[in-house]
Structure 1
Amino acid sequence: MMNTRREMLRHGAAVATLLMSAGLLPTTVRAQAAGYNAGAFESKTMADLMKTLGASAPTESKDVTITGPDIAENGAVVPLGAATALPGVKNLLLLVEKNPSIMTSMFELTDAVEASVSTRVKMGQSSNVFAVAMMNDGRVLYAQKEVKVTLGGCGG
């Protein structure tokens, strides 16, 4: 039986919690497991997500870019990327508006790395996608793009 990525993450988090409670995880892994925000990944809208993360209302910005295909032939593996050249980025998020859970990924960054990430996400249908930059000064900036998903890769 093949597990979905979310099921694997959920099981991995459960195992990490058990190991942490038994004192079998290193301190750095314990901190990451304890800091995991399950509510953020359960949010259905951007407003709910920002409230859960304790962030301000997002503002559209030309300083944030999102990359992805105009048309995705296979909704199971849609390549998306987020980037900004602004200093002081705390988190970069990739959101898919019409997914059951709007947040697909959150990357924690420091000024020691370039604020540019990419991954592949699953999209069940055509949707607006968002790249969100959460800044150290409290600002939340975003860019959006529409990605159309074809059914079975045949345009149906």
Structure 2
Amino acid sequence: MSSPSWPRCATDRRAMLGGLLALSLVRPAGATPEALAAAMREFTGGAAPLPGGVTLDIPPLVENGNAVPVGVEVESPMTEADHVRAIALFNERNPLPNVITARLGPWSGAARLSTRIRLATSQRLIAVAALSDGSYRMAEQQVVVTLAACIEG
């Protein structure tokens, strides 16, 4: 008769839980202004986005950074000849600088997106739109967060 498997399973379970606990205690490093610039360069292929034509809708003062509403809208007729190819949202202090990238086209009907994001701390957010003519437009806003998200301790 073979020995019961529960001692081995219990040991495996403890090891797994210990590993998960160790992972939960590791905090990702925050993005830096340099990481933000690099992420934007990657999105734009090195082209400098011009200000204007993009509306970034986020409250300038956020009480709780756990679920912050944000909206981005780009002025565009969204026709086959003149449309927004993508919208990207970047931040400078969260663990990763690229929050979201949405691909669009003339079939989208409107160049807008809205979501909720977590903000680790007060920081600058930048929305960049890639247009069908190869140009890039942007808007930015500083957001003050009184109760941060993404950071434990």
* TM bracket (short chain): 0.5 to 0.7
AA partner of residue 100 (structure 2): S
Q: 1:54 to 1:147 in 2, by over 3 A?
A: closer
Counterpart position of 1:24: none
1:46 and 2:42 equivalent? no
Q: Which runs of 5+ in 1 are unaligned?
A: 2-43
Q: 1:147 to 1:48 in 2, by over 3 A?
A: same
Match of 1:142 among 98, 120, 138: 138
CA distance in 1, matches of 2:132, 2:46: 12
Deviation at 1:110, TM superposition (A): 0.8
Counterpart position of 2:114: 118
CA distance in 1, matches of 2:68, 2:44: 29
Counterpart position of 2:13: none
TM-score of the aligned structures, taking structure 2 as reference length = 0.65
CA distance in 1, matches of 2:93, 2:49: 20
Deviation at 1:71, TM superposition (A): 0.8
Q: 1:95 to 1:50 in 2, by over 3 A?
A: closer
Identity of aligned residues (%): 30
Paired residues in the alignment total 113
Deviation at 1:60, TM superposition (A): 3.3
Match of 1:103 among 79, 89, 98: 98
Q: Which protein shows a greater Rg?
A: 2
**Aligned partners of 2:36 and 2:91 also within 8 Å:** no
Q: 1:51 to 1:85 in 2, by over 3 A?
A: closer
TM-score of the aligned structures, taking structure 1 as reference length = 0.64
CA distance in 2, matches of 1:81, 1:72: 15
Counterpart position of 2:26: none
